[in-house]
Structure 1
Amino acid sequence: MPIRPHMPKKVLILGGGVGGVVAAKRIAERTRGRADVEITLISDTDYYLLPPLLVNIALGDISPQQAMLPLSRFAYRGVKTVKATVKKIDPDNRTVETDQGKFQYDYLIASLGTDFDFKSYNLAAGNHNYTLDGALKFKEALANFHGGSVVVYTPEPVYRCGVYPFEIVGQLDAIFRKRGIRDKVDITLIHPFQRPIQPLGPEAVKITEETFAAKNIRYIGGVTQPGPVDEKTKTVTVGSEKVKYDLLVVVPPSRLPKPFEGTPLTAQFPNGTWTAINVLTGRSIKYDDVYLPGEHSMPAIGLPTAGVPVHFTAMASANMVAGEILGEPVDPAQINAMTCAMDYGEFGMMFNCDIKLDLANNKAAWMGSCYSILKSPLGKLIKDLFYKTWLATTI
């Protein structure tokens, strides 16, 4: 009887963002020299870009190159990288279809972020820093702005980086003051939360409201009937009110990435259609060989669509995959605390939220357990150092 050749375990990782690079690095570290593993990372770019630094690009603080790392660096870890766009995921046949062909896997880790919805509410009419191209256009619009009404429009509560709208108004205030035009500018933030930054609790609300009052930033909260942007009249409709703008900054709602649409990896939740995972491990609810530690899973388990929870969930998923390949006991080491670092323009603020995993209900509970650990100009430096250090060590 012929001996079948030994085949390496194929680990396919989709997405070159936070979740993908964290998972690839972790699995490579744990299995190298200990197991026969073929790790392939598929990304639609050949670089990793740290999303929080897009705002720094838009504000002119750094160049795009300072926010990027080439994914080719993974080669020394034994990780193969492929530049391709994921088209379809077929978990029943362990196949992923891309514009560069089909890929098979023994384990799949998919972390594809979220799609940004600029079509609803005609948000394409505004400026944003949710893509590199958007950040560069936003930078140009700021350079050409010399006064008038600035409106930051957040129509829905599920979007990337929950603290961003509250940060950007403070950052714009600081920039306009440095340019000597603040007295010629009105700043308004439109948001679904009744009070600013409400999920972080009363302390964060108090600090933010006091900051907005001191900076003369108008807050229109509790928006339940968001309306469209009218480019001709340069207005945003909010209920019965039309808010005029000269410079519009938009925060697009997050949506399920297209490769997941129509697949059994998703489920309907009160806040939308998202990929369904186990809160402890990031494993798909339906497929033992599929892990989904991306922003597309966070709303389903009660975590924000942001890098920190994706990072920890990707670590948990990677630990599970590596442990199973090595035949070792597995401790996912999922998130138990989440620190939010915020830049309000003239000072930085850091809040910590203790997280309790409710395994019975498959949720991560954190609202109501957030508290300030720093409010100081030093906070801006700490946030800056955190991102630069993370970028320098992530691959």
Structure 2
Amino acid sequence: MPKKILILGGGVGGVVAAKKMAERLRGRVDAEITIINDTDYYLLPPLLVNIALGDMEPRQAQLPLSMLEKRGVKYVKAKITKIDPDNRVVETDQGKFNYDYLLASLGVENDFQSYNLGVGYHNYTLDGALKLKEALRSFTGGKVVLLAPEPIYRCGVYPFEFACQLDTLFRKRGIRDRTSITLLYPFNKPLEPLGPEAVKISEGIAAKKGVECVSGVKPPITIDDKERVVTLSNGEKYKYDLLIVTPPARLPKPFEGTPLVAEIPTGKWTAISVYTGRSLKYDDVYLPGEHSMPYVGLPTAGVPVHFTALASAASITGELLGQPVDPAQINAMTCALDYGDVGMMFNCDIKLDLSSNKAAWMGSCYSILTSPLGRLIKDLFYKSWLATTM
């Protein structure tokens, strides 16, 4: 009987792991690899910004998951409803699936219910990006407010980056002189997690672009869409004509109520080994997704998920091949930012502390480029990554 490897999620973690395991096991181990996702395509999330800005069509940011079949990976389109690790069963709207190994990378749940965020525009889904695209197209000037109410959300640099991109967009359209841009931000300073150098550069760019950064925002926050005003916990009010929101990240629903979850000060997340991405409770379950990153101290972003998925894939294939496992887990991550007319790239050195099961990176970030060239490098990176993913 072939070993059944079940992968949940057709995002970065799932696709990277599927490709790596298929390459390493083909012709060497009798294994059946199946990937389950609720859409029939892989979408590169950072390119949702390009779609919202009108620089790219959705098809240019997508790849059909059926392309993995050429590598021997079976694809099933289904909605995952329940994970039962005690019985090695995953339930979906298309039936139940058993496994010998489970690798789940389900991203995060974007919370638009809290704070009444659903009344604002966003680009955290394809549908949201398309609606934001139309809103920007029809916008002729006024007060733009970007709101990030909590510090854990997908891609930590995004709100500040997008605020700067809007400045460039509005200047090109000739409406910047009658438009204000205000960012309501949960950290004490722009890009604070990346360290003092990033803060200094970002504050200078914000000042040059005339982007007002209101830092230290924290709940309770209310949005009155009838009056078009955001009220902060200190009573300050910010009127808006266009509201763009960054939803807090939450645990994906299929994990709720399972033993895979642990509660930490930042919320409920899946608990993993920082070294391999393996569940702390089940040796046959790996969870290299954004839903695990806060647990080990990494940001909810694609780069750490990518590396953790590779580590998980190496661990699973190593066991099946009877070979020593060296997951080669992440030791650095590079963050590329597009500020509309200039790009910035930061590298963060990462040290894994196996005794505390944490990845230390804050305070170890430094600039490697601040130049218009940075925008080109970021664009080429994403497009080349997409072209070689499958």
TM-score, normalized by the shorter chain, greater than 0.5: yes
2:134 maps to a residue whose letter is: E
Q: 1:73 aligns with which of 48, 67, 71?
A: 67
Matched, 1:94 2:88: yes
Question: What per-residue deviation string (whole Å, max 9, x for no partner) do you get for residues 111-167 of structure 1?
Answer: 000000000000000000000000000000001100000000000000000000010
Paired position in structure 1 for 2:369: 374
Return the offset for 1:40. Answer: 0.1
Matched, 1:297 2:282: no
Matched, 1:160 2:166: no
Q: 1:326 aligns with which of 321, 326, 351?
A: 321
Secondary structure (helix, strand or coil) at the match of 1:19 reads helix
Paired position in structure 1 for 2:382: 387
Question: What per-residue deviation string (whole Å, max 9, x for no partner) do you get for residues 65-113 of structure 1?
Answer: 0000000101110000000000000000000000000000000000000
Return the offset for 1:237. Answer: 1.0
Indicate if the aligned counterparts of 1:295 and 1:305 stay in contact, CA closer than 8 A: yes
Divergent runs of 4+, >2 A: none
Matched, 1:237 2:231: yes
1:41 maps to a residue whose letter is: I
2:317 maps to a residue whose letter is: A
- Taking the aligned partners of 1:368 and 1:150, their CA distance within structure 2 comes to 32
Paired position in structure 1 for 2:263: 268
Return the offset for 1:345. Answer: 1.1
Secondary structure (helix, strand or coil) at the match of 1:313 reads helix
- Taking the aligned partners of 1:179 and 1:302, their CA distance within structure 2 comes to 41
Paired position in structure 2 for 1:131: 125
Return the offset for 1:224. Answer: 2.4
Indicate if the aligned counterparts of 1:350 and 1:379 stay in contact, CA closer than 8 A: yes
Return the offset for 1:229. Answer: 1.2
Return the offset for 1:226. Answer: 3.9
- Taking the aligned partners of 2:251 and 2:91, their CA distance within structure 1 comes to 18
Secondary structure (helix, strand or coil) at the match of 2:380 reads helix
1:40 maps to a residue whose letter is: T
Paired position in structure 2 for 1:224: 218
Paired position in structure 1 for 2:353: 358
- Taking the aligned partners of 2:231 and 2:31, their CA distance within structure 1 comes to 54
Number of residue-to-residue matches in the alignment: 389
Indicate if the aligned counterparts of 1:336 and 1:357 stay in contact, CA closer than 8 A: yes
- Taking the aligned partners of 2:269 and 2:299, their CA distance within structure 1 comes to 13
Indicate if the aligned counterparts of 1:72 and 1:81 stay in contact, CA closer than 8 A: yes
- Taking the aligned partners of 1:300 and 1:371, their CA distance within structure 2 comes to 24
Which structure 1 segments of 5+ residues have no match?
A: 1-6
- Taking the aligned partners of 2:69 and 2:222, their CA distance within structure 1 comes to 46
Return the offset for 1:393. Answer: 0.4
Secondary structure (helix, strand or coil) at the match of 2:221 reads strand
Matched, 1:185 2:179: yes
Question: What per-residue deviation string (whole Å, max 9, x for no partner) do you get for residues 213-271 of structure 1?
Answer: 11111111011234121110001111211110000000000000000000000000110
- Taking the aligned partners of 1:226 and 1:22, their CA distance within structure 2 comes to 39
Paired position in structure 2 for 1:196: 190
Return the offset for 1:346. Answer: 0.8
Secondary structure (helix, strand or coil) at the match of 2:150 reads coil
1:168 maps to a residue whose letter is: F
Matched, 1:247 2:245: no
Question: What per-residue deviation string (whole Å, max 9, x for no partner) do you get for residues 302-358 of structure 1?
Answer: 000000000000000000001111111110110000100000111000000000001
Q: 2:207 aligns with which of 196, 205, 213?
A: 213
Secondary structure (helix, strand or coil) at the match of 1:169 reads helix
Q: 2:335 aligns with which of 330, 340, 343?
A: 340
Indicate if the aligned counterparts of 1:120 and 1:228 stay in contact, CA closer than 8 A: no
Paired position in structure 2 for 1:107: 101
- Taking the aligned partners of 1:119 and 1:270, their CA distance within structure 2 comes to 21
2:227 maps to a residue whose letter is: T
- Taking the aligned partners of 1:42 and 1:284, their CA distance within structure 2 comes to 19
Return the offset for 1:377. Answer: 0.2
1:344 maps to a residue whose letter is: Y
- Taking the aligned partners of 1:264 and 1:106, their CA distance within structure 2 comes to 18
- The alignment's TM-score, normalised by the length of structure 1, stands at 0.98
Which segment drifts farther, 215-224 or 280-289?
215-224
- Taking the aligned partners of 2:374 and 2:126, their CA distance within structure 1 comes to 25
Indicate if the aligned counterparts of 1:87 and 1:259 stay in contact, CA closer than 8 A: yes
Indicate if the aligned counterparts of 1:188 and 1:220 stay in contact, CA closer than 8 A: yes
